[in-house]
Structure 1
């Protein structure tokens, strides 16, 4: 059986998207190559026709995850009161409960840092979000520092909310942080 001309590109795309979702949902270390490939109906050996190593896949999947959420983030931050809207969009129970669809920073950056494998893609995403937040607070003194504080609060709150077993505590973390960060923005 002959494959379509773009079969390899399509397969590469499927692996990237599945890995991006699994790395955000389950973590990098917990995502094995064999189960990943099996979920796609592919063989483990076929992985190496697409990627040099798991580290290569991690870096490319991180970029894929960034691309998947960029449009929504950029649209939210382009609107009036963008920082307020971004806080409301980011600190939701849906984002908490579905990391596979959301921002890669809470799951992937924590694990990459813990493994001693910081990523240039993570740096790029952080700089990009900070720049967009800062642009929305351009008239505020020390907007760069304040945007860094805002992003740190968002990511940290999501990490804590995801780790809480008690659903009321998890929701309280999101709600309180959302309210406090919005007040912080309003005060600046």
Structure 2
């Protein structure tokens, strides 16, 4: 059977996108190659036509997931018409983001797991982290300059990830909502204190 030109790359991309969502929703170790490949309509054997190992897929999925989250937040910032940091913080610490980890930030979904991954996967995660910090820095008020701009963006991102992680971890919906609200307030105070 002959496939159209680009079929293999399209199939690979389909696997990466499905894996990226599943890893963020269920955790890396919670997703098996067999079930993932079944989800995209392929066999386990077909997996090895595209990836050398599950870790290769994890790495590519981290890159894809980070790109997705950055694209989503960049759109929120662009639509904000000023005070981009406010739109970014509110978008990140939203109920929608909390309830849909599969389409959200890789850091909030997988940072604890990244600590135990090989250095190549950590490097992919680090690159995504740096892009997110850069995005956050680009939204900060003009009065924040130099090295302070990057360090403030890093602090804001840490606050966002921590708040989202905790909001997802608790069993009480009201407490989760409170964590998101307090996280938004704290992140905004960080920025506004400059």
Same fold (TM over 0.5): yes
User: Relative to structure 1, is the Cα distance of residues 27 and 164 closer, same or farther in structure 2, using a 3 angstrom cutoff?
Assistant: same
Aligned counterparts of 1:171 and 1:37: Cα–Cα separation in 2: 35
Q: 2:180 aligns with which of 174, 178, 181?
A: 174
Q: Which runs of 5+ in 1 are unaligned?
A: none
- Which position in structure 2 is the counterpart of 1:102? 104
- Which position in structure 2 is the counterpart of 1:85? 87
Q: Which runs of 5+ in 2 are unaligned?
A: none
- Which position in structure 2 is the counterpart of 1:33? 33
Aligned counterparts of 1:167 and 1:71: Cα–Cα separation in 2: 28
User: Relative to structure 1, is the Cα distance of residues 147 and 164 closer, same or farther in structure 2, using a 3 angstrom cutoff?
Assistant: same
Q: 2:164 aligns with which of 155, 158, 168?
A: 158
Aligned counterparts of 1:75 and 1:111: Cα–Cα separation in 2: 28
- Which position in structure 1 is the counterpart of 2:144? 140
Instruction: Tell me how far 1:123 sits from its aligned partner.
Output: 1.1
- Which position in structure 2 is the counterpart of 1:20? 20
Instruction: Tell me how far 1:98 sits from its aligned partner.
Output: 0.5
Preserved CA contact (<8 Å) 2:114 2:125: no
Preserved CA contact (<8 Å) 2:73 2:92: no
Aligned counterparts of 1:150 and 1:45: Cα–Cα separation in 2: 43
Residue by residue, what CA displacement relative to the aligned partner does 1:28-59 show, whole Å, maximum 9, x if unpaired? 01110000001112111110000010010001
Aligned counterparts of 1:69 and 1:160: Cα–Cα separation in 2: 19
- Which position in structure 1 is the counterpart of 2:125? 122
Instruction: Tell me how far 1:115 sits from its aligned partner.
Output: 4.3
Is the partner of 2:2 in helix, strand or coil? coil
Preserved CA contact (<8 Å) 1:28 1:111: yes
More displaced stretch, 39-48 vs 137-146: 137-146
Instruction: Tell me how far 1:176 sits from its aligned partner.
Output: 1.0
User: Relative to structure 1, is the Cα distance of residues 28 and 51 closer, same or farther in structure 2, using a 3 angstrom cutoff?
Assistant: same
Please report the TM-score for the alignment, with normalisation by the length of structure 2: 0.89
Aligned counterparts of 1:148 and 1:90: Cα–Cα separation in 2: 15
Aligned counterparts of 1:139 and 1:116: Cα–Cα separation in 2: 39
Equivalent pairs, count: 188
